[in-house]
Structure 1
């Protein structure tokens, strides 16, 4: 069992719009996303490694909290029922040059998390690849999200690109991950095109100033 940290979990960002990842792999009527952002959102590589390659600086994480999650059914992705309860939720900032370039949360079975996240202050991909065992990453959905606390930490006004994906080991889901990307990444990736999706959700969907801590 994982001992809860003193820090509290953030409430998951509000989803303004969401679409299955497979929709972006075929011709459709959705607005276009640039190639660089498609690779970041839909690619099966490690985002922490991608950010390190883009910036030429080491990418690290800052652990926010890691504890039993009583709200996984309410706030977790639809694939959350594929994990065996009880579930641990882990939230981190993905940082580079002392800036929060992304935020991520992940859900784990409480027994498997101890076996697979032995270095809790390291990125997930470093933990899972230490033993060179085979892993498979599947991106499930792309979404546009917003929250007041993300705007404060990113120092940008939302909304923000987000994605959900799963890691599989031995054909079984190991963890489910949600990532949200800072618009600062446009410095290296170019325009994200997120404004082209604004007509797909209501402007009234902007989150109000409510408590951000669970």
Structure 2
């Protein structure tokens, strides 16, 4: 999942067998980039920027925290529904997107520990989405350790099992 260039939401749905929902934490303008923002944000067309943060979850719990950084005007054009995934907002344009993974790592954060119900560090990645050769957004995702139970091959019944 860390290296995939496919939709993380589709991976989460495939792993869990559940619909993945989005809880919007915040979607606010950022006039000045904080030092901990992901690489590539400064490559988005121009300020003002917009930072969107969400939790992704299913009936079995929280699966991921994600943030995306946008040019504010671009975000206003794309986000017709703030409470669904980025892909749901983009797919109406039927445009091809390219993903460039920039960073893999682990993070520690008390807010993540509280929501995931586990101590960190937590695996993370950041990447840029490109549309027509231009950087559209920079995304950082942090994965819940609860996903490990789906990846070990023993804990999740397959179709027709259980």
User: TM-score with structure 1 length normalisation?
Assistant: 0.68
Unpaired runs of 5+ residues, structure 1, are 1-39, 192-214
Q: What is the root-mean-square deviation of aligned Cα atoms in Å?
A: 1.4
- Name the structure, 1 or 2, with higher relative contact order (CA <8 Å, separation 6+): 1
CA distance in 1, matches of 2:139, 2:71: 13
**2:141 paired with 1:179:** yes
Q: Which one of 137, 142, 146 corresponds to residue 108 of structure 2?
A: 146
**2:84 paired with 1:116:** no
Give the Å deviation of 1:72.
Answer: 2.1
Residue equivalent to 1:137: 99
Q: Where do 4+ consecutive residues of structure 1 move more than 6 Å?
A: none
Residue equivalent to 2:160: none
User: TM-score with structure 2 length normalisation?
Assistant: 0.90
In 2, are the aligned partners of 1:65 and 1:92 still within 8 Å (CA)?
yes
CA distance in 2, matches of 1:79, 1:58: 31
In 2, are the aligned partners of 1:73 and 1:80 still within 8 Å (CA)?
no
Larger strand fraction of residues: 2
CA distance in 2, matches of 1:58, 1:166: 25
Give the Å deviation of 1:71.
Answer: 4.8
Aligned length: 152
Unpaired runs of 5+ residues, structure 2, are 154-162
Secondary structure of 1:104's counterpart equals strand
Residue equivalent to 1:37: none
CA distance in 1, matches of 2:12, 2:137: 21
Larger helix fraction of residues: 1
Give deviations 1:106-129, integer Å, cap 9, x for gaps. Answer: 100010001112111110111111
